[in-house]
Structure 1
Amino acid sequence: MSIMNVILWKEIVLFKKRKTSTIFMMLGTTFLICLFIMVKLKSDGFNMINYFSNINYASIMLAYIFYISFIKFWHEKAMNTLEVLFMLPTNLINIIIGKMLLPMIISLSYTIIFFSMASIIYFLITGVFIFNIYNLLQIIVISFLFQFFYGIINCYAMWCASLTYAKVIQIISIILYLGSIFSLLIIPAKVSFFNSIGIWIIIFILGLYALICFFRIDREKAINTLPY
């Protein structure tokens, strides 16, 4: 079994321990977002453009919300098992990716299912099939880039930075978590992805900061900040 599989298996075991609460959280969040979409469509008018744009935005929000809910870099530090993780015969980037892999798989898979189901529902209501693989790929690419960069930033904050810095990152994540849900009510119906320079500027800045954080992640620093 490869080292990546070992780390992934460990994450799966942790996920199974909270499987029931996680499923309820995912379904509850999805229900709330669908409720907001219905309110938005009632206000803006039910048509293909409004429906499709809201589904695009909601898909990205779900990918983000579930990813930050599942990522658990703090777990090793809180349970004093970080040293065991660092003893694995592999480099640091493999450990970090191994920790991020399961949250990415779950959140992106759920997003694909949500997008597909929303397209099927629209087809059942109107008889028009709006599923667009190009749009789905946009959602996956944007979500993947954000998740990868955010994962590295979160790793640095939880493993190597000060407790104050870690709490600031947690607070920002909570604000973005709640804000992303309610933003569905105020974001304009037409949301563009690859054609929006603003989105790519945000991703570039996030990626640059993630690169800085990655070079500051150090095994010795992480172990020295363990809460013995």
Structure 2
Amino acid sequence: MTTDRGSIDYRLQAVRQQIINAAQQVNRDPKDITLLAVSKTKPMTMIREAYLSGQRSFGENYVQEGVQKINEATDLGDIEWHFIGPIQSNKTKDIAQHFHWVHSIDREKIARRLDEQRPRESGPLNVLIQINIDDEQSKAGIALSELKALATFISKCSNLRLRGIMAIPAADASESQQKSSFAALYKAFQELKTTHPNVDTLSMGMSNDLDAAIAHGSTLVRVGTAIFGARTEQN
């Protein structure tokens, strides 16, 4: 492990250790938790550095930027690309053709378009349904009451594979509200697993609430700044 505190390798090792510590605190196996490196706005040089440090899963918010990176990384055969941003109807074809995972499905129209536009030779697209757990007007996602219907629709799409749910709880939530939101998401995840056998992913938790999310059953955490440094806004 490098001793350069500013390097991506050092930061990755620190985040991985944080995940291990958080999992052990609640008697969970750290291997059951995937680290998704949120690489939006970051150059391919940084992604390649993270790849050399063993990171394989990367998350992108912007379709055009993500597709460009995917095309530049064709030599990295086992890299896995996740689209985690809001989905516009006119962007579904690029997402369906290039990404391995989509975290942000929140309506049937988007699911249908992704299903129709996914190349069969690429295999099913892994998808998560986004839940707006705290009913925030500024965020995408469905209410928990709508989950069953959307999950049933996606399960009938031959080119999509429903893997679970994703949520971004309110950033300014109190500790009790945060715990309540995480608990509700975990309960919904467990219920979804009973009716959809491919469901195995609960994507919740970022840099500021990673420990709490893991304590409440998260299987995938999304971390950007702690790995790559402060984000660079697009013009």
For the criterion TM > 0.5, the same-fold answer is no
**Greater RCO between the two (CA within 8 Å, min separation 6)?**
1
TM-score by length of 1: 0.27
Q: Which has the higher strand share?
A: 2
Greater C-alpha radius of gyration: 1
